[in-house]
Amino acid sequence: MAQKSPKPLVAGNWKMNGTTAALKEARLLAGMLEDVRLRCEVMICPPATLITSIKSVVKGAKIKLGGQDCHWYAHGAHTGDISSEMLKDAGCSAVIVGHSERRADHGETDETVRLKAEAAYRADLTAIICIGETLEERKAGRTLEVIARQLKGSLPMNAVPTNTVVAYEPVWAIGTGLTPTVEQVAEVHASIRAKTDPALRILYGGSVKPANAVELMSVANVNGALVGGASLKAADFIGIIKAYT
Ligand SMILES: O=C(CO)COP(=O)(O)O
């Protein structure tokens, strides 16, 4: 029997953007979602300072909340860090781990990303695990090798829990307006699918916009999007979500 494909997820990663003024975008999005028949889950991953206020603003709307990072310990002397338990307590159902910006700026390795994913499961959160090659790696023809190495190192060593999402984000496509061709996306997603459970969602991220969402989301084994810049304005984000209506 053919395997049913997992329900898509469109998640907005606000990164380090948004003060209380941005609550109006969450409110607007909640209103817009009332008028669409959704075939995907919708999530906002705001800065931690906004999680609880967005939670109350979108009350009743089908918008999930996610964190952008977590520590692997539950609590302790780790100034500036947030644990998965704290994100859960604030109302999150997921957390992004291993985003390339954190791998580059905070020295995260596959090993620390895996520890963070395990911390997410410990708190009953979905772990959205990011992987992706740099431009140099793509140009050197090493994309699939890099993806395989990151997958092996960043996902849990034994059984991978079903509340795992893999996000393929080519580093060179993030915030640049550049996207891989549909053939390139298909090739990488097929390689990830071959190494993961068919029930796991594999998101594409990197310069997803309303104008390219339908094309990218139609690629085989693409089960949603992780959206940066275009998730900040409800009018843009809904244009991407509507790829699934
Ligand atoms: O990094 C991303 C999402 O995590 C993608 O960012 P952009 O959509 O701004 O390219």
Assess whether 99 carries a catalytic annotation: yes
Give the ipTM of the model, two decimals please. Answer: 0.99
Structure tokens at 111: 């090993």
Q: What is the distance in A from the centroid of ligand 1 to the CA of 123?
A: 26
Structure tokens at 180: 């891989």
Tens-place pLDDT, residues 159-176 = 889 999 999 999 999 999
Is it the case that residue 2 has pLDDT exceeding 60? no
Structure tokens at 137: 């790696």
Mutational test site, ligand 1, from 129, 171, 174, max ligand atoms within 8 Å of CB: 174
**Counting beta carbons within 10 angstroms of the beta carbon of residue 156, is it exposed (0 to 12), middle (13 to 18) or buried (19 or more)?**
middle
Residue of the nearest CA to atom 2 in ligand 1?
228
Overall average pLDDT of the 61-81 stretch? 97
Closest CA to 243 of 65, 10, 61: 10
Is it the case that residue 4 has pLDDT exceeding 80? no
Domain boundaries, the chain: 9-15+39-54+62-230
CATH architecture of 9-15+39-54+62-230: Alpha-Beta Barrel (3.20)
Closest CA to 167 of 112, 127, 113, 205: 205
Is it the case that residue 27 has pLDDT exceeding 80? yes
Eight-state DSSP code of residue 9: E
- Choosing from 25, 41, 99, 137, the catalytic residue is 99
Tens-place pLDDT, residues 180-222 = 999 999 999 999 999 999 999 999 999 999 999 999 999 999 9
Q: What is the distance in A from the centroid of ligand 1 to the CA of 77?
A: 31
Tens-place pLDDT, residues 88-141 = 999 999 999 999 999 999 999 999 999 999 999 999 999 999 999 999 999 999
Eight-state DSSP code of residue 196: S
**Model confidence, pTM:** 0.97
Is it the case that residue 1 has pLDDT exceeding 50? no
Pocket of ligand 1 (CB under 6 A): 13, 99, 169, 174-175, 205-208, 226-230
Residue of the nearest CA to atom 3 in ligand 1?
228
* Alpha-helical regions (H) of the chain: 23-33, 51-57, 84-90, 100-105, 110-122, 135-139, 143-154, 182-195, 210-217, 234-241
Eight-state DSSP code of residue 83: B
The dihedrals phi and psi of 224, each to the nearest 5 degrees, come to: 135, -170
